[in-house]
Amino acid sequence: MADGVDQSERDGAVGSQPPSSASIPLGGFPPPPSNPQYFLPALTPSTSSDQQGVRFGPLPDSPHQTAASSGAARSGAPGGSGVTTGWRMLVVGAAIGALVATIVGGGIAAVLWNSKSSDQSSATTSTAGRTVSPSGSALDIRTLLEKVRPSVVTIRTDPGLAAGTGSGIVVDEQGTVLTNAHVINAATEIEIEFSNGDLRPAVLVGSFPERDVALVRPKEPRESVPAELGDSSTLQVGDDVVAIGNALNLGGDPSVTKGIVSALNRELDAEGEHLDQLIQTDAAINLGNSGGPLLNAEGRVVGVNTAIIANSQSLGFALAIDSLKPLMQKILNGEAPVDGDGAFLGVVTTDVGDQPADVLDQFKVDVEHGAFVARVQAGSGADRGSIIPGDILTSIGDEAVETKEDVGRILAKHKPDDRVTIAFERDGEEQSVEIVLGRRGG
């Protein structure tokens, strides 16, 4: 699968990395934005500054360490770079939005609205005073929560390092949990915290990162209450839904937010990655909700909370459960990879042509094609080779790099530990360096 990074940042940091904000009109369901910024709502901590940027990396291991719910991280001074939980990040004031387009942890960090969705039905949404779904039952949130509470878990990755947290759904009586692949991708340790506070070491059963789905289970089977999986094909635009999960890692009971189905069969694209059969909802999907259930009025799981649009009026997306059932079965049958072993460079890139003139001037860019480096992961091959934000990758090995997609396409042909020569431009001068590629997810 292609990356617009390198195969890349599907092996970045555990959890999700929200990009810069997108402006959405107030009032009801907006028209498709020209360049919306989506991110996967596993929780990450915020830092403080006046410049908007994007963040990669760990999540707070304390309920008192909260993240900015807007999806915009803070970092550095304009044009500067710094280390943010393992990633050096380019921040160029308000222009950062043009710098971000990458696949992270098996999911989408920034995507383009796909106008070819198979069902463009949508509804102007307002949850105020709504209690009844047009095609469903009356929504009794308290009863619904009591029904599903034992089946909603918190997933923690690399405990003690504050590296990641997300949500999950118990799907069998032994404690197997369905979640997003981006919640657990690259984790060296996984823990499942069940609804009664029972914390169990867990292992990855298998995953399909390109579909952002994974199954994990306790190392020792645990008697558990599985959630009831519903039929997402019965959903209609306007139906009531409820999103549940570990919002903001605040501890205690899961968060509960109510909304409606705004659209069905949405599709999201980013640098060769494609997610389809998505349910669009205005139920607030907060940071930390990744992997949690989207429920219908009967308390059945009809989706898995996956992506949100930054700074939006509650535009969220959930993977339809019907699309995940066959993938879950394949994982249980041993037909899904447990570990990725693709080559890893450690950069986040975007097309040179997508940069505004002031950014190009700032970095003395005088090429029309190439992959503009927005971030570099600390300790990666790119970092050891002294690649920095603002460099323009022009070739990898003997293949030219004209777009960000070329980076992922070329790296897909390589293996970990391969030595490759990277040609790049910096401050208007051509340079090259030999780099040893790392292992994706390693």
Residues marked active site are found at 182, 212, 290
Q: How many CA atoms lie within 13 Å of 86's alpha carbon, on the beta-carbon side?
A: 19
SS3 54: coil
Give the integer Cα–Cα distance in Å for 114 and 175: 36
Decide if 195 contacts 201 (C-beta within 8 A).
no
Per DSSP, the residues of 329-385 read HHHHTT-S-SS---EE--EEEEEGGGS-HHHHHHTT---SSSEEEEEEETTSHHHHT
CB within 8 Å of 197: residues ≥ 6 apart = none
SS3 401: coil
Decide if 411 contacts 7 (C-beta within 8 A).
yes
CB within 8 Å of 329: residues ≥ 6 apart = none
Which residue's entry shows tokens 């003997």? 398
The residue count for the chain: 442
Decide if 63 contacts 76 (C-beta within 8 A).
no
Residue 221 sits at φ, ψ, to 5 deg, of: -55, 145
